[in-house]
Amino acid sequence: MNIKRAALYIRVSTEDQAMHGLSLASEKTALLEYAKEHDMKVVVIFEAEGISARKTYQKCPACCRLLDAISAGNIDVILFIKLDRWFRNIAEYYKVQELLDRHKVDWIATEERYDTTTANGRLSLNIRLSIAQDEADRTSERIKFVFKDKVNRGEVIGYLFPLGYRKGGKPLVIDPEKAEIVRDLFTYYENICSVRGVMYYADERYGLSYPPCGLWLLLSNRTYLGEFRGNPHFCEPIISVEQFTRVQKLLESREIRRSPSGRIYLFSGMMRCPVCGKMMVCQYSNVGKCVYYKCPDAYNRKGYTNRKLIRETYLQKLTTQLEEAGKVIDIRPNYAELKQHITAFLSIYDEMNPEEKKHFYNRVIDHISLDTDLKPAVVFR
Examine the fold and report which residue of 119, 136, 153 is the final residue of a domain before the chain moves on: 136
Examine the fold and report which residue of 252, 268, 299 is the final residue of a domain before the chain moves on: 252
Give the CATH number, domain containing residue 172.
Answer: 3.90.1750.20
The CA R_g of the chain, rounded to the nearest whole Å, is 25
Helical residues (DSSP H) of the chain, grouped into ranges: 14-20, 24-37, 61-71, 83-86, 90-102, 119-152, 176-192, 195-206, 212-219, 241-252, 312-316, 325-329, 335-348, 354-364
Question: Domain containing 130: what range?
Answer: 5-136
Residue 148 resides in a domain: no
Distance CA 205, CA 203 (A): 6
Q: What is the pLDDT of residues 206-264, one digit of tens each?
A: 988 887 778 888 998 888 988 877 778 777 889 999 999 999 988 886 554 444 555 66
Sign of the alpha-carbon torsion through 239, 245, 247, 252? positive
35 and 106 together in one domain: yes
Q: Is 109 helix (H, G, I), strand (E, B) or coil?
A: strand
Distance CA 140, CA 111 (A): 24
181 and 300 together in one domain: no
300 and 364 together in one domain: yes
328 and 374 together in one domain: yes
Residue partners of 44: CB distance under 8 A and separation at least 6: 7, 8, 69, 74, 75, 353, 355, 356, 359
Residue type, 111: E
Query: 137-146, 208-217, 236-245, 333-342 — which is least confidently predicted?
Result: 333-342
Residue 158 resides in a domain: no
Contact 356, 345 (CB under 8 A): no
132 and 173 together in one domain: no
| The Cα angle at residue 260 between residues 254 and 52, in degrees rounded to 5 | 130
Distance CA 97, CA 165 (A): 49
Examine the fold and report which residue of 136, 153, 182 is the final residue of a domain before the chain moves on: 136
Query: 6-20, 21-35, 177-191, 321-335 — which is least confidently predicted?
Result: 321-335
Res. 331: pLDDT tops 80: no
Q: What is the pLDDT of residues 166-175, one digit of tens each?
A: 876 667 788 8
Contact 157, 234 (CB under 8 A): no
The pLDDT confidence band at residue 187, using thresholds 50, 70 and 90, is very high
Residue 147 resides in a domain: no
295 and 343 together in one domain: yes
Long-range CB contact pairs, 154-157, < 8 A, 24+: 154/231, 154/233, 154/234, 154/235
> What is the model's pLDDT at position 344?
62
21 and 79 together in one domain: yes
122 and 238 together in one domain: no
> What is the model's pLDDT at position 242?
93
Residue 286 resides in a domain: yes
Distance CA 378, CA 328 (A): 9
Res. 123: pLDDT tops 50: yes
Residue 182 resides in a domain: yes
Residue partners of 367: CB distance under 8 A and separation at least 6: 270, 271, 272, 379
Residue 47, H or E segment: strand 41-49
Strand 281-285 and strand 365-370: the pairing is unpaired
Strand 5-12 and strand 41-49: the pairing is parallel
Distance CA 39, CA 61 (A): 28
Res. 41: pLDDT tops 60: yes
Q: Which residue has the higher pLDDT, 242 or 347?
A: 242
Q: Residue 189, by phi and psi: left (phi above 0), alpha (psi -120 to 50) or beta?
A: alpha
Contact 265, 291 (CB under 8 A): yes
Of the candidates 96, 98, 84, 94, the one whose C-alpha atom is nearest the C-alpha of residue 133 is 84
Residue partners of 306: CB distance under 8 A and separation at least 6: 273, 274, 275, 276, 295, 297, 298, 372
Q: Which residue has the higher pLDDT, 315 or 177?
A: 177
Residue 123 resides in a domain: yes
Q: Is 95 helix (H, G, I), strand (E, B) or coil?
A: helix
Residue partners of 319: CB distance under 8 A and separation at least 6: 345, 346, 349
Write out the DSSP string of 192-258: H--HHHHHHHHHHHH-----HHHHHHHHT-GGGGT-BTTBTTSS--SS-HHHHHHHHHHHHTTPPP-
Res. 303: pLDDT tops 80: no
Res. 293: pLDDT tops 50: yes
Give the CATH number, domain containing residue 93.
Answer: 3.40.50.1390
The pLDDT confidence band at residue 122, using thresholds 50, 70 and 90, is confident
173 and 105 together in one domain: no
Query: 46-60, 259-273, 328-342, 353-367 — which is least confidently predicted?
Result: 328-342
20 and 126 together in one domain: yes
> What is the model's pLDDT at position 244?
93
Residue 196 resides in a domain: yes
Domains contained in the chain, number: 3
Q: What is the pLDDT of residues 354-365, one digit of tens each?
A: 666 666 666 666
Res. 180: pLDDT tops 80: yes
31 and 131 together in one domain: yes
Residue 258 resides in a domain: no
323 and 368 together in one domain: yes
Of the candidates 244, 240, 238, the one whose C-alpha atom is nearest the C-alpha of residue 177 is 238
